[in-house]
Amino acid sequence: MNEAKTIFEVRRWASLFLQENNRETGVGELLVQHHLGMTRAQLFANAQDEVSVDVREKIEQDLRQHVAQGTPVQHLIGTEEFYGRLFKVNQDVLIPRPETEELVLGVLERMKQTGMFSEPLTCVDIGTGSGIIATTLAKELHHATMYATDISSEALQVAEQNAHALHADVQFRQGDFLAPVIEEGVTFDVVVSNPPYIPEGDRDTLSDVVRDHDPSLALFAGEDGLAAYRRIIEQLPAVVKKETLLALEIGHDQRHTVPALIEAAFPHAYIDVVQDINQNDRMVFAWLSE
């Protein structure tokens, strides 16, 4: 990068370097933004400003680590944006995906449609990871009492830090899916989860950025990818109210299998499978009754 001195030149060098090494070129711009403390608009507005040697070296070091080891840019930066807020992420939690924003939006829309948006609600986020769903719902549903569970103590530490930093009131519990809140006898108006749903056999098909850096506990769910759903649905009867919204993120090929599991446990459930922005089946919303 010795010859690249301006912001424009550094961005161009980073993009070419990543392209030559078969990596996403957008990673370069994110790292330049991060190390310069600028927005994307500011990068363009100040394109001819010179970048210090120290900053150029840091950018190059991160780029080479990403290329060599597949280290996600979010781990290099330490954060990822979700629903307009910055969340801390590391190797102990799943990196937030845009599809999960759509899951949260779907919950909020259904709360508005049913007139529940401004009512006191009790909600739980199962397998909270970095706490993105629980924290976001706590911030958006001002009258909600928010619980979040995870079996990983390391993930819960990250989630608690995020909730604290964003001034969100979330009650975190450690345990197997719904087990810790079942023990407390809590029932819920909303149950939401982005559980692990990738079959073990698909491990080698994933990119090294995901396979080697996201926690396996948050990715894989048995031979058919349905183990987490089975466990959650098995526990649900203990926590549902007269009417409870269940919101789940699913794999693109699970539009029939996950609803079938729900129907077997809740024969009268109203189930809606929704596609994400890329037209992949991605979300299941089900109104359950006890």
150 is annotated as contributing to ligand binding: yes
177 is annotated as contributing to ligand binding: yes
Cα–Cα distances (Å) from 191 to 241, 269, 286, in that order, read: 11, 14, 10
Same domain, 47 and 115: no
Residue type, 78: G
From 18, 42, 69, the end of a domain falls on 69
127 is annotated as contributing to ligand binding: yes
Chain segment 148-194, per-residue pLDDT in tens: 999 999 999 999 999 999 999 999 999 999 999 999 999 999 999 99
2 is annotated as contributing to ligand binding: no
Domain tally, the chain:
2
Give the predicted TM-score (pTM) of the model. Answer: 0.90
Same domain, 183 and 65: no
The span from the CA of 6 to the CA of 9, in Å, is 5
Directed axis angle between helix 132-140 and helix 153-165, to 10°? 30
φ, ψ of residue 270 in degrees (nearest 5)? -95, 115
Which of 70, 44, 49, 64 is CA-nearest to residue 1? 64
Chain segment 30-44, per-residue pLDDT in tens: 999 999 999 999 999
229 is annotated as contributing to ligand binding: no
Residue type, 220: F
Domain that holds residue 55: 7-69
Task: Kindly state whether residue 109 falls inside one of the protein's structural domains.
Answer: yes
195 is annotated as contributing to ligand binding: yes
